[in-house]
Homo-oligomer: A and B are copies of this chain.
Amino acid sequence: MTQYDTLRPVQWKDGQLRLLDQRRLPGAEQWLMIDAVDAVRDAIFTMVVRGAPAIGCTAAYGMAIATRKAPDDPTLFAEKIAADAQTLKDARPTAVNLAWAVDRVAGVIRARLGDGVDSAREAALAEAHAITEEDVQFCKDMGAHSLPFIPDGARLLTHCNAGALATGGYGTALGVARAAAEAGKLKMVYADETRPRQQGARLTAWELHHDGIPVTLISDTVAGSLMVRGEIDLVVVGSDRIAANGDVANKIGTYQVAILAAYHEIPFYVAAPLSTVDFETPTGDGIPIEERDGDEVAIIDGTRIVPEGVPCRNPAFDVTPHTLVKAIFTDKGVALAPFVESLAKLRDL
């Protein structure tokens, strides 16, 4: 059985952080070798790496780099680590996994500093490895839990990129696709282009093609037509944040796809680690939606597609109400409606 767990966008090699430069995909597969905290910060800020779990792994290695660059004197070491931790957290202050990963490595460093700075250095790197390996394992667990919901010969539609590139590896929504492919159940992944940033074309199509998984690209305008022709069996997407009631924030356009799926009686699934569920936020109304610069819509690869002076609206995310969600695949198991109960139950396992 083919295993699709080889694509790792965040690696540690020859004592340095090795990152796949996702801004250059699909045209070039270029890897950056990074050996400084400021460079890690820049890589996150400029979206060399994106996807909340992948950012977390990157930041964890950033902390490992911090320990290697910090002075040997324990007091100066601790001061430098604290400053670098803040630098990393500030790269994208809204990404929850970023702060979580930095704090987790910082805790290990503090715990081991009593044994000397070299012990702390060793522990920091081990923790970064652990965070990344755990992330991959969570994705595989999610994929395994999803299998009973995947029909044979599945034609799966996804939106944006919730793949290996967005995680330590394997992916959330695309982890479901990989698990289905490994189980011999996958016929085709249809990837929505996902305007304005085209993550479906540039990232999802690239990573599935890279792994030899069948993928077909469609414009965001085409999903409904494929559905009415009976060419889509299920929809699987990732999530940036899930409210306690199961309302799902994800890339702009997800909400529409969920409505189209409901209209055509096609199941709409969300794949996300349980850490994506924000139990402090009761419903999707409490999830703030980032509005990004209109030039992301107006300009593609340097070419302006709309006249100067025409405004563009550019909300980056939307919220899909839980009523449109059939199930949420997590690393701990599958949540079904009512989600307010099933998600809490998985948390308390």
Contacts and interface: CB of A to CB of B under 8 A. Distances in A.
Nearest to A216: B311
Given A217-B306, A306-B217, A311-B216, A224 B318 contact: yes
Contact of A221 (B195, B226, B309): B195
A252 interface: yes
A217 B312 contact: yes
A171 to B, nearest CB: 17
B259 A307 contact: no
A223 to B, nearest CB: 7
A215 interface: yes
B194 A310 contact: no
B26 A306 contact: yes
A306 B202 contact: yes
Interface in A85-124: none
Interface stretch (A267-275, A297-305, A330-338): A297-305
For this chain, the copies found in one complex come to 2
Interface size class of A (residues with CB under 8 A): 35 or more
A323 to B, nearest CB: 12
A19 B197 CA distance: 33
A39 to B, nearest CB: 27
A282 interface: no
Contact of A303 (B195, B255, B301): B301
A223 B221 CA distance: 11
Contact of A253 (B221, B228, B259, B318): B221
A217 B306 CA distance: 8
A300 B297 contact: no
Contacts of A253: 219-222, 224
A194 B222 CA distance: 10
Contacts of A71: none
Interface of A: 26-27, 190, 192-196, 198, 201-202, 205-206, 209-210, 215-226, 228, 251-253, 255-256, 259-260, 263, 294, 297-298, 300-301, 303-307, 309-315, 318
21 contacts: A26-B307, A194-B221, A198-B305, A201-B298, A201-B305, A202-B306, A205-B310, A206-B307, A217-B294, A217-B298, A217-B306, A217-B311, A221-B252, A221-B256, A222-B313, A223-B256, A224-B318, A256-B260, A259-B259, A259-B260, A300-B300
Nearest first, the 4 closest Cβ-Cβ pairs linking A and B are: A221-B253, A224-B256, A195-B219, A26-B307
